[in-house]
């Protein structure tokens, strides 16, 4: 599994205008001089002749791609000198028709800056590792059950793209696999903007889906970070995790129906995300997850759901129908989260298999109505160090698992509730077994950690909730 590292530094604004992609540095200094073409036929000829380091630029304009697609077959760049196919300016080359790029047996390919307007999706096949889709605009046909981008090849990078505007069932971005149970490895999804999915059904309209039910026990080691989701209303799950061993961190979900849902699989980390308004926060099933440093406020449904199951654990050999069911949440650690003003704060469900052995520690829970903790049957839970406040009732949290005291939060202009001087949360964390080096703002935690997602500091945040300037084709 890859080593997870934090990205440091202040988020930068978008570049202005249609920036020539030929000015971007990708690959090594030994890359060949760019070749500019003005037709799909010329583009195909240059791709067919491309060697490592080739950079092929398609002039701005609208191009009807023939039914055979733009073929990238048997072409191999290197990690330091990929074969790069770019639009002259971001979004300047618009591709129409049924298909766009058809990749087979290729590696180290970068496709950048295009506006995709196809009636079928773009697939990165299993025999195409190390493919990068960057700074593209995806607005494909508004067709039911059309998944816009599907990743089956290992080590794909999907970054700084905009996926937007659809009203039908189907997923913007799917991480899939080569056969029935394996899943693509080490997909890196970052700095993308997902927006405006208005499908009104109840299922099948996710922004991102990592895996699928029958791949749940396969470790994907995907990293989903620094993405912005706005008005993603196609499904209660904006980020749907249906595989194991993933990391979902530093994303911002603002005003969506969909939340972050660990629907299938085990051992995924959900860290440092902002959920601001909308309906759903974080919901988890499966085993051994870590949910830490998340800030969830103003949701109209549920903040954190600790799921019950139709089965105790998914396992090899179960039926397809059993695999589609919910796996009860066991051995999760839910710590250092701040939940403020959600319709439901921490809640559960009522399936046959109750969640077990979950640690809920050092969280701040604030609400003005309802119950702050509303769980049914559980087994072996550990509650400690939590701070509860507001007119909402305590609910089903045991008396020894919390203090009822005003955490002295301040809501800043970016929508984040942070600690103020003198807060009883400062230095009061209790879960010694957990290593947490930073808070949601990117500030160091130090030895005596504060309760909640924020570590009190007078310094400006290193990370804030993302805006459209931080993501998409013009992001830094």
Q: Would you kindly state where each structural domain of the chain is located, as residue ranges?
A: 121-423+458-470
What mean pLDDT value characterizes the chain? 93
pLDDT at 270: 98
Residue 403 phi, psi dihedral angles, 5° rounding:
-120, 140
- Place 31 in a pLDDT band, splitting at 50, 70 and 90: low
Residue 44 phi, psi dihedral angles, 5° rounding:
-60, -40
pLDDT in tens, 140-169: 999 999 999 999 999 999 999 999 999 999
The top-level CATH class assigned to 121-423+458-470 is: mainly beta
pLDDT exceeds 70 at position 330 = yes
Closest by CA position to 273, among listed 320, 311, 226 = 226
What is the pairing mode between strands 393-395 and 402-404? unpaired
pLDDT at 2: 44
pLDDT exceeds 50 at position 17 = no
- Asked whether 81 and 53 are in contact (CB, 8 A), the reply is yes
More confident residue, 285 or 28: 285
Q: Which of 30-34, 221-225, 239-243, 318-322 shows the lowest per-residue confidence on average (mean pLDDT)?
A: 30-34
pLDDT in tens, 173-196: 999 999 989 999 999 999 999 999
Phi-psi region of 38 (alpha: psi -120 to 50; beta: other; left: phi over 0): alpha
Q: Which of 259-263, 323-327, 472-476 shows the lowest per-residue confidence on average (mean pLDDT)?
A: 323-327
pLDDT at 30: 54
Residue 16, class by beta-carbon neighbours within 10 Å (0-12 exposed, 13-18 middle, 19+ buried)?
exposed
Query: 116 is written with which tokens?
Result: 């995709």
Distance separating alpha carbons of residues 137 and 165, to the nearest angstrom: 11
What kind and span of H or E run contains 35? strand 35-37
- Asked whether 345 and 339 are in contact (CB, 8 A), the reply is yes
pLDDT in tens, 94-123: 999 999 999 999 999 999 999 999 999 999
pLDDT in tens, 339-392: 999 999 999 999 999 999 999 999 999 999 999 999 999 999 999 999 999 999
pLDDT exceeds 70 at position 12 = no
Distance separating alpha carbons of residues 460 and 452, to the nearest angstrom: 18
Query: Span 15-40, mean pLDDT?
Result: 61
Buried b (16+ CB within 10 A) or exposed e, 100-138: bbebeebbbbbbbbbbbbbebbbbbbbebbbbbbbbbbb
More confident residue, 11 or 269: 269
Residue 40 phi, psi dihedral angles, 5° rounding:
-65, -35
- Asked whether 210 and 189 are in contact (CB, 8 A), the reply is no
What is the pairing mode between strands 386-389 and 364-366? parallel
pLDDT in tens, 123-132: 999 999 999 9
Distance separating alpha carbons of residues 209 and 179, to the nearest angstrom: 17
Distance separating alpha carbons of residues 176 and 220, to the nearest angstrom: 9
What own/partner pairs with CB < 8 Å and gap ≥ 24 does 28-36 have? 28/53, 28/80, 28/81, 30/81, 31/55, 31/81, 31/84, 36/88
Instruction: Give the count of beta carbons closer than 10 Å to the beta carbon of residue 231.
Output: 18
pLDDT in tens, 280-295: 999 999 999 999 999 9
Eight-state DSSP code of residue 49: H
Contact partners, residue 369, CB within 8 Å, separation at least 6 = 391, 392
pTM more than 0.85? yes
- Asked whether 418 and 412 are in contact (CB, 8 A), the reply is yes
pLDDT exceeds 60 at position 424 = yes
pLDDT at 24: 41
């Amino acid at each position: 599994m890859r080593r997870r590292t934090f990205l440091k530094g202040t988020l930068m604004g978008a570049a202005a205008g249609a920036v020539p992609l030929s000015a971007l540095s990708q690959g090594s200094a030994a890359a060949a001089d760019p070749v500019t073409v003005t037709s799909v036929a010329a583009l195909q000829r240059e791709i067919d002749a491309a060697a490592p380091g080739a950079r092929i630029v398609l002039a701005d304009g609208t191009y009807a791609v023939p039914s055979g697609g733009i073929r990238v077959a048997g072409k191999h760049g290197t990690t330091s000198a990929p074969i790069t196919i770019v639009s002259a300016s971001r979004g300047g080359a618009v591709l129409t028709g049924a298909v766009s790029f058809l990749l087979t047996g290729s590696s180290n390919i970068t496709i950048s800056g295009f506006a995709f307007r196809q009636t079928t999706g773009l697939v990165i096949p299993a025999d195409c590792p190390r493919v990068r889709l960057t700074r593209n605009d995806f607005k494909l046909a508004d067709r039911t059950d059309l998944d816009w981008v599907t990743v089956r090849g290992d080590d794909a990078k999907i970054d700084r793209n905009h996926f937007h505007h659809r009203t039908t069932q189907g997923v913007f971005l799917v991480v899939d696999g080569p056969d029935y149970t394996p899943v693509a490895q080490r997909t890196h999804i970052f700095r993308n903007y997902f927006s405006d999915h208005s499908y009104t059904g109840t299922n099948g309209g996710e922004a991102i889906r990592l895996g699928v039910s029958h791949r749940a026990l396969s470790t994907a080691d995907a990293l989903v970070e620094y993405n912005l989701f706005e008005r993603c209303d196609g499904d209660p799950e904006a980020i749907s995790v249906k595989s194991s061993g993933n990391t979902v961190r530093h994303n911002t979900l603002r005003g969506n129906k969909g939340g972050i849902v660990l629907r299938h699989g085990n051992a995924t980390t959900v860290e440092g995300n902002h959920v601001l308004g909308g309906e759903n926060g974080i919901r988890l099933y499966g085993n051994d997850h870590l949910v830490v440093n998340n800030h969830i406020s103003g949701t109209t449904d549920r903040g954190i759901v600790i799921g019950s199951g139709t089965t105790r654990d998914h396992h090899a050999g179960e039926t397809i129908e059993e695999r589609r069911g919910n796996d009860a949440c066991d051995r999760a650690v839910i710590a250092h989260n701040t939940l403020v003003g959600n319709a439901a704060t921490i809640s559960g469900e009522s399936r046959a298999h109750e969640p077990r052995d979950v640690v809920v520690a050092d969280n701040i829970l604030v609400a003005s109505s309802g119950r702050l903790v509303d769980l049914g049957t559980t087994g072996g839970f550990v509650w400690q160090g939590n701070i509860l406040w507001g007119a909402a009732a305590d609910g089903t949290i045991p008396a020894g698992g919390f203090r009822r005291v005003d955490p002295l939060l301040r809501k800043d202009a970016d929508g984040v509730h942070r600690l103020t001087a003198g807060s009883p949360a400062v230095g009061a964390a209790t879960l010694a077994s957990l290593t947490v080096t930073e808070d949601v703002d990117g500030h160091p935690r130090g030895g005596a950690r504060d309760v909640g997602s924020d570590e009190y500091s007078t310094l400006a945040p290193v990370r804030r909730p993302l805006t459209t300037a931080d993501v998409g084709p013009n992001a830094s």
